[in-house]
Structure 1
Amino acid sequence: MTRFLVCLAAFWSLLAGPALAEPNPVAATINAAIASGCGAAPGHFMDGVYNTDLDGDGRADLIIDHSGLRCAGAAPYSALCGRSVCRTTLFLRRDAELVPRMVQYGVVLDVPGTPRARITLERASGYPSYVEWNGRGLEAFEMP
């Protein structure tokens, strides 16, 4: 009888399959950005996706620059792009989620890859804009 129960438990575990994995917040955030930029059309980021520690907490945060998004169909670029710049969203990792904390309109020029680094964007004005962690939150400023 014990052997039967052990075999039954093993068989049931095969039917149940592996436990569902936790969703990947980076992939989910990128997929949502593609949907918001391309609508129903498929798309992919050629560049413009950066994993870096923006706030110095030791965890990778995320930057999504829509200038790197390419969409299939009649509109090849993200709907979140204007004539010269696109929307760039900075996400901070909070627990298992990526939370949007700042939106800038500009093309990402430099992401150093070091914790609490200064992120450089080019604004529509042609002047650089910087985003960096100030100890409490992300702060943006434009250089004349």
Structure 2
Amino acid sequence: MKILILCTGNSCRSQMAHGFLQSFNKDLIVASAGTEASGKLNPNAVKAMKEVGIDISHHTSDPVDMYLDDEWDYVITVCGGANENCPAFLGKVKHRLHMGFDDPSHATGTDEYIWGEFIRVRDEIKEAFYKFYKDEIEPQL
């Protein structure tokens, strides 16, 4: 089973989703990419995932072009608000899904508030991707 998770910058939400899916089943082939890949991971995303025992520090922020020639069982976009453009994937895909999440890297305010946004979004991603895994992926394995 091959799953590609797409976002714009590929530094935060897509990376967390990638980490969670891989933690649910090590045999899944999971990649994440961005239409405007930042080339780096958001340090707060890495820290938030480490807090729940998942190390994504070795992930890379990759441009979606790297994956266009591959075939995917699922391509999932995770961008959020109406002001944000969700990437379109033009490669070979069996199923396209969208699960929108707020971008915690856009949070402003106190350090406490910003960290709280990373935790909130991380937990929302975990819940949504676990449901996706149990409902969609596991029955096919």
Q: Which has the higher contact order (CA 8 A, sep 6+)?
A: 2
Q: TM-score, normalised by structure 2?
A: 0.27
Write 1 or 2 for the structure with the bigger share of strand: 1
